[in-house]
Structure 1
Amino acid sequence: MKIAIIDYGAGNIRSLAFALERLGETDLEITNSGDKILAAERVIFPGVGHASYAMLQLKKYGLDTLIPKLRQPFLGICLGMQLMCNQTEEGNVNGLGIFDTSVIKFKPLLKVPHMGWNKVMWYKNPFNEVIPSMEWYYFVHGYYAETGVQTVGLTEYINDFSAVMRQDNFIGCQFHPEKSGAGGSVFLEHFLFDEEMFSKKGETMA
Structure 2
Amino acid sequence: MFLPILFVLCFRLSSSDALDFCVADLKAPQGPIGYACKTSELVTVNDFVFSGLREGNTSNLMKAVVTSAFSAQFPGVNGLGVSVARLDLAVGGVVPMHTHPGGSEIIVVVRGTIMAGFVSSANKVYYKALRSGDVMVFPQGLLHFQINAGKTPASAYLSFGSPSPGLQVLDFALFANDLPSDIVKTTTFLDDVQVKKLKGLLGGTG
TM bin, normalised by shorter chain, reads under 0.3
- By percentage of residues, which structure has more helix? 1
TM-score, normalization by structure 1:
0.27
TM-score, normalization by structure 2:
0.27
Pair member with larger Rg: 2
